[in-house]
Amino acid sequence: MESFLDMTLDRNLYIGVPVGAFLCSLFLLFCFFNTMKSRTVRSLRAVLTSCLVWTGGAILMRLQVFPGIRFWHNFALFGLLVIPVFMYAFLFAFLEITEHDALIYIYGVLTTALVLGNAWSGAILPAPEVMTRADGTYVYMYHATSGIWVLTVLEVSVLVYATYLAHCKIGGDLQLRKKLQPLLLGTLFVLMGNLLCLIPGSVFPYDMLGGVGMAVCMVYIMYKQYLFDFSYRVTVGAVYFLAVVVASLPLVILSHNLENVLGSLERAVTQKLLIYIVLQCAWTVLVVAFARKRLEDILNQKLKHMLEGLRKFQDRAASILNRKELFANMHDILDDAIPGWESRIFEKNINDDGYHEVVQSGHIPLGEDEVERVCGIVEQEETKETPEIALLKYDNMVCGFVYMERLRESKLNYREADCIRQMANIASGSLKNIDAYEKVYQVSIHDELTGLYNRSYCGVYLRRDGALGEERGFLYMDMDNFKLYNDLYGEQTGDRILQWCAKRFLDNVENGEVFRVGSNEFLVSVPETGKDALVELAEKLTRAVQENATNKPQVMQPITFSVGVAWYPGLAADALELFQQSKRAAFYAKRNGKDRIQVYEGGINEESQDKETGYEQVAPTVYALVAAIDAKDSFTFQHSTNVSQYAVLLAQKLGLSRNDIQTVKVAGLLHDIGKIGIPESILKKAGKLTNEEYEIMKSHVEKSIEMIHYLPNMNYVIPAVVSHHERYDGKGYPRGIKGEEIPFLGRILAVCDSFDAMISKRAYKEPLSVEYAMGELEKNKGTQFDPEVADAFIELIKEGKVPL
């Protein structure tokens, strides 16, 4: 066999061109040798592999290597014919064309059949004729048969069809079209090179030159069109290519010596021996590569598992705002990621005098001796030499550490130690966020003045414990006469009183929570049940305020509280209801004289009794106000009394509850008290009011509401009073509401007020007859009055039950 070095470098262009094409294809294949296993890359590898088969077969044919020219000719022909198949597959994968895939397999089977048929008969393209030139070199001349043109048409049709499908898929994407054009050009180079070899008398290896053109187009695509990552691919390809070159150097350098050693053997035996050596080397490389790949897969699987655990912890830690939850997640993920070791997490003590283990549920704490040893290493800052320990620190302060306890004889490798350190770093950042969150959270739930839990957090507390699964008692403590302290001594003294009282409550409530729920109101929640225990605690707290003079603000008046007591299990169904019960009891305590403790007893008539009692307390004030109006406008007092009487009769006729009857009675008396703020010139005007005067008169409704607000416990009459001038058709005032939007008691007052106004004497008119007034009520049903209410009142008049 001729020297390989001589044949490639000694003016032998005929073997040099195929070798160049082979090396170009080999380099490109190496560029994609170590990359992701996507469908696109697999198809491109197949294209480059078929180019290697084609060019490699051509080289071995020209070297006349065993088993002969015919074998390597058909071997190269097979590689050439499958290039369009894999190019077809590459385009489909790159452009994500899903239809027409079956044609790839059909053409692949057909190509294989043609190659096998040609190998058997040589009917398509027989092996080339070997010709010896004058200088002793060999050239190869092809003699095409008619079958080659059938094969050429088939190849061209496949390329044209694939190009057409790609064109349809790309559409108007000019950038993508520009990137893929060099690929089509490279394929045409291969086709034209092979067709030139079929010209009679042609011996130059144009086909291999076409392979070089194909390789140049591929490099151009990678470099210029950015179809793939050029720098990375070329780096990978260069490394593998250089490795092959270095590995081949001994064979090239020692080729002359090998010829001398093997010169005594026959040429065929020498070639077989060399082929065996090459194949054995290739087999060895494949086995080693497979073993290395399997080993890498195993190691990468373990690494992937660790990285997955690290990523999972990083994702979770970003949203965790609780130390216990953070440490539990860290413990579980570390134990899963690093088998054979158990994580132990230590946190710095609050008083900064050492560390304590954060023991996870179901785990036994670390032994005292081991804890002392590990803490000693941390305190001496010798953790760099101890990979099983990773510090938890932020802002240059150590707040804890992770210690990996060995469960079996093994050592942490670098990746495992790095995983522990990274997880500790993530936990350190989360601890910083948790500390910042806890500081902000504590500020948000505490009252700035007293340091107690604030009203907002009280709402959260009541909703959180809404089910009340355990015994619970509430004390609602309302400071008496707090406004007096502010008025007499100033707001700063008032603030100091609140702070001082809050301190007394905290000192005397051993097992419970204290909230500031109002300007001078507090709620004490304790796990106590039963009247006696809660009353005893309430007495203890009031005594602490009255009898303890330590740092007490200097005020002459005693500091007292009206206290409401409620408990569960009792009359409350949930925490919110229990809160309302304790608040109502405190209201009763304040109303009944202040400075007392009132236990919530409940009762079905509680609301009615509350309204009746409230009215009894303010009745003298109400009559005094009505009398004051009477002094200003003599018609108003009697009018208010009449409307109240009519409204009670009408409410009874309509079957309303005792509570509603009481409400409409009081509302009738109060509905016009705002007229005390209307000028007498308007109230007593004999003629028609001007538009401006009428607007002033209409304002008596708002003035009535303002005055009612100042009457204790009388707000319940406001809906009826504010709506007694509304019309059923929505044309009334002050809100212009209509129909059933108007409170029912307001609709009752509207009928009674209008009827009495019609039959009574006014400064601007004489009284109208009852019959006329009844006719107006009938006439204005559905427009001014509620039909049901108007009909009921007309029936009362006809029955003679309305005092006239």
What single string gives the DSSP state of each residue in 383-449? GGG-TTEEEEEETTEEEEEEEEEESSS----HHHHHHHHHHHHHHHHHHHHHHHHHHHHHHHHB-TT
Q: What is the pLDDT of residue 370?
A: 79
Provide the 10 A C-beta neighbour count for residue 780. Answer: 17
Structure tokens at 214: 């194909």
pLDDT at 266: 59
If you count DSSP H runs as helices and E runs as strands, how many of each does the chain have, helices first?
Answer: 29, 11
Quick one: 240 exposed, middle or buried, by C-beta within 10 A (0-12, 13-18, 19+)? middle
Answer yes or no: are the C-beta atoms of 83 and 210 closer than 8 Å: no
Q: How far apart are CA 536 and CA 271, in angstroms?
A: 112
Tokens of 179: 């990137």
Angle CA(382)–CA(386)–CA(392) in degrees, nearest 5? 75
* Domains of the chain, earliest start first: 4-231 (1.20.1070.10), 317-444 (3.30.450.40), 455-602 (3.30.70.270), 611-798 (1.10.3210.10)
For residues 413 and 338, the answer to whether their CB atoms sit within 8 Å is no
- C-alpha pair distances (Å), 718 with each of 121, 497, 532, 625, 706: 112, 35, 39, 16, 10
- What three-state secondary structure class fits 728? coil
Strands 397-406 and 341-348, sheet pairing: antiparallel
Cα torsion for 348, 350, 352, 353, to the nearest 10°? Answer: -90
**Does residue 629 contact residue 672 with C-beta atoms inside 8 Å?**
yes
Give the closest residue to 303 by CA, choosing from 201, 380, 413.
413
In the chain (804 residues long), the average pLDDT of successive 10-residue segments reads 43 67 76 67 83 84 79 84 80 74 74 80 78 71 76 77 79 76 80 78 75 78 55 55 58 53 57 63 64 63 81 87 87 85 84 75 74 78 74 84 81 81 89 88 90 91 70 91 78 91 92 92 86 90 87 82 88 85 89 84 52 57 68 72 90 88 87 80 77 83 78 75 90 88 91 90 80 91 92 90 83
Helices (H), 96-173: 102-121, 147-170
Rounded to a whole number of angstroms, the distance between the first and last alpha carbons of the chain is 142
pLDDT of residue 136: 65
Neighbour order of strands in the sheet with 389-394 = 355-357, 341-348, 397-406, 389-394
Identify the pLDDT of residue 503.
93
Q: Are 712 and 720 in contact (CB under 8 A)?
A: no
Residue 188: its pLDDT value, please?
Answer: 82
What phi and psi, each to the nearest 5 degrees, are found at residue 454?
-90, 180
Residues 6+ apart with CB under 8 A from 13: none
User: What's the pTM value of the predicted model, to 2 decimals?
Assistant: 0.43
